Amino acid sequence: GENVEQHPSTLSVQEGDSAVIKCTYSDSASNYFPWYKQELGKRPQLIIDIRSNVGEKKDQRIAVTLNKTAKHFSLHITETQPEDSAVYFCAASIDTGRRALTFGSGTRLQVQP
């Protein structure tokens, strides 16, 4: 089955700096890669996703890049703000058949004011 590894486990940045979280996956058949943000005690919320036919996707301060050959994808947050502080999870799945997501272990991002 799919295995997703995520690094780093914790990340502390100053407000305004950029943050990068990296994930690798094992199943070359995976073609859908979402990122979820989970604030303390709240549900995971989708913040951005990318499909394997695209190498990069951007939404305001958030971007995701995908390298299919190397089987890794990354989340980039620019101009970080204190409200970006949360746990971020990457995930991978095969889009067809409504397969379940395989999640990474999470990155706790702390943005220092």
Partner 1 sequence: EAEVAQSPRYKITEKSQAVAFWCDPISGHATLYWYRQILGQGPELLVQFQDESVVDDSQLPKDRFSAERLKGVDSTLKIQPAELGDSAMYLCASRPATGSYNEQFFGPGTRLTVL
Where on the chain is the footprint of partner 1 (CB under 8 A)? 4, 6, 32, 34, 36, 42-46, 49, 89, 91, 93, 95-96, 98-106
Indicate the residue among 73 and 89 with the shorter CB distance to partner 1.
89
CA distance 18 to 81: 10
Closer to partner 1 by Cβ: residue 9 or 81: 9
Shortest separation between residue 5's beta carbon and partner 1, angstroms:
11
Give the whole-angstrom CA distance, residue 113 versus residue 103: 29
Inter-residue long-range contacts of 61-68, CB under 8 Å, 24+ positions, other chains counted? 62/35, 64/33, 64/35, 66/33, 68/28
In the complex with partner 1, which residue's Cβ is closer, 6 or 24?
6
Whole-number minimum distance, CB 48 to partner 1, in Å? 11
Alpha-carbon distance of 2 to 84, in angstroms, equals: 28
Decide whether 14 or 96 has the Cβ nearer to partner 1: 96
Cβ 18 to partner 1 shortest distance, Å? 23
Task: Give least dist CB 112 to partner 1, A.
Answer: 21
Q: Which two tokens stand for residue 80?
A: 């970080």
Q: Which residue has the tokens 């943000």?
A: 37
